Structure 1
């Protein structure tokens, strides 16, 4: 039986978790003379905003952390953690919160849809105590770089699933397009060079779920030969792209891709 896209995404999460775990182990190697890993790392409870739980989403090179946490009423609020303290920045939030090295925060504003459900109602930028609403509606923030470029998915409201990969730069919203006549695309990551990666539906029977890189105003396919589904997750400033690929026979693997070289991790 041929694997479905949901099967692939489930396997993808496991593969990517293992790949990221391997990278973290490499990056967290003990310094010379360290007795144990426990002596090198410290786990810090960031606390909550008076509620029972909190979730960290993003951290910058200055150690500032953003995420969302429940307040005393149970509502989820966007928080900033710095200098050992957690604070509510005044926005109802949830998934999709990022902070860059300038300390600027971008993310989704959540609210009631009028029927009792909590949904994304706007996007925001927060800096130095001031919140600016972007007013790009039906938009899910997926990333922020150190040049304040924001990537989002514009969510189709007609139930078609035809979402659009989007870049917000200097207040201008740009539709990145699709690959090979496809009708939908989503972003996954952006680096400080402005290179964006994501996936796009295509009209190709061989590769209906293709990976793309967008740079200098052009979307290009990553052309992973034989991949039925390719799902990229992020790109760093060196151009390393991570993700996972599924082949026609149902096998899948996490990968790192750079300069036309694909390294698989089964």
Structure 2
């Protein structure tokens, strides 16, 4: 089944009119217990207590972060790749930290890693047996260097954030041949790029001159940055974009609450919540299935799936656990994220969707 949020690559106008009509006919976007459920795979850890999954590609490979067992510091976290049922560590640059944040369909991975001298995260590319620095804008001696790479597409274009020469953090695009492009801001000091698609479009958040941050869409072909606005409040941030140009993220409402959104057809739509006062949309696949997390009426944090105007609670994890957040979804209906398992610790998990939405 093709969800209403997905459009053909050609003329999208009819599809977008249908989407608008669908949303406007709903009195509210309410959580609903649809027939969709999860078949879970607990990815475990590399010896420690904790792991979290951050991204999944169309081959089911996952990157994230995990703690290690003795003799490592239990507070130190290291990136991981999960592939073919095996979790392997992503190397640092000599420091005590790494984090796998994105992976493309070719298995190329990016994130952050600490160096031996600076002991802080810097944008990196991970390979099976190697980790290497991405270059970023020039700095005066002793300045800058901190940052992380948040996304990578199938063209080996990478986005993230890094300190620029005035020590502000700016959204960065590593484009063709890894040429460094500073995307700038809307007049403020800070910006970050959180995701990109395979059509030269980048999304993230950038400060206005007033200091508040708004979600943006950057088009690499036209070199233009568009302010996506908010849901009536002050701030917003975009998390992900699919190849249809549909964007998801989080925005503040007039009442101050922050809700997940989809931006499509030139308009931002409120996805609602699972009964609480907060939600965030973190991932969207090519068919328009959206995942994220939301508070429930009793204050718990649950993962959700949003399709066809319906937000479905995916929070049940086994008999006693909670699926807290879906951080990404691939085109095969596999949702990556993290769950509180029965022992109370947090583990990276894959939820393979079962039922109506498969």
- TM-score norm. by structure 2 comes to 0.56
**Match of 1:184, SS?**
strand
The match for 1:61 is: 154
Q: How does 1:235-246 map to 2 (within 5 A)?
A: 235-246=329-340
Larger deviation: 211-220 or 64-73?
64-73
Deviation at 1:41, TM superposition (A): 6.0
Q: Contact 2:50 / 2:345 at 8 angstroms: preserved in 1? A: no
Larger deviation: 249-258 or 237-246?
249-258
The match for 1:73 is: 166
Larger deviation: 232-241 or 74-83?
74-83
Name structure 2 gaps, 5 residues minimum.
Answer: 1-48, 55-63, 67-78, 90-105, 109-125
The match for 2:195 is: 98
Tell me the alpha carbon deviations over residues 65-86 of structure 1, each in whole angstroms, 9 at most, x when there is no partner: 1222333222222222121421
Distance 2:197 2:287 in 1: 14
Q: Contact 1:96 / 1:140 at 8 angstroms: preserved in 2? A: no
Distance 1:169 1:56 in 2: 25
Q: How does 1:144-163 map to 2 (within 5 A)?
A: 144-155=241-252, 162-163=257-258
Q: Name whichever structure is richer in helix by fraction.
A: 1
Deviation at 1:46, TM superposition (A): 2.6
The match for 1:22 is: 82
Deviation at 1:96, TM superposition (A): 4.3
Q: 1:193 aligns with which of 278, 282, 287?
A: 287
Q: Contact 1:228 / 1:247 at 8 angstroms: preserved in 2? A: yes
1:164–1:60 CA distance, 2 compared to 1 (3 A): same
Larger deviation: 19-28 or 217-226?
19-28
Q: Is 1:174 aligned to 2:279, yes or no?
A: no
**Match of 2:226, SS?**
strand
**Match of 1:83, SS?**
helix
Q: Contact 1:155 / 1:164 at 8 angstroms: preserved in 2? A: yes
The match for 1:7 is: none
Name structure 1 gaps, 5 residues minimum.
Answer: 1-9, 30-37, 262-266
Distance 2:173 2:153 in 1: 11
- TM-score norm. by structure 1 comes to 0.74
Deviation at 1:234, TM superposition (A): 1.3
Name the Cα RMSD after superposition.
3.4
Larger deviation: 146-155 or 73-82?
73-82
Distance 1:248 1:87 in 2: 45
**Match of 2:276, SS?**
coil
**Match of 2:81, SS?**
helix
Distance 2:166 2:288 in 1: 40
Q: Name whichever structure is richer in strand by fraction.
A: 2
1:149–1:44 CA distance, 2 compared to 1 (3 A): same
Tell me the alpha carbon deviations over residues 177-200 of structure 1, each in whole angstroms, 9 at most, x when there is no partner: 122x32221222111111111112
* Structure of greater relative contact order (alpha carbons < 8 Å, 6+ residues apart): 2
Deviation at 1:258, TM superposition (A): 0.7
Q: 1:47 aligns with which of 120, 135, 140?
A: 135
The match for 1:6 is: none
How many positions carry a matched residue from both structures? 235
The match for 2:352 is: 258
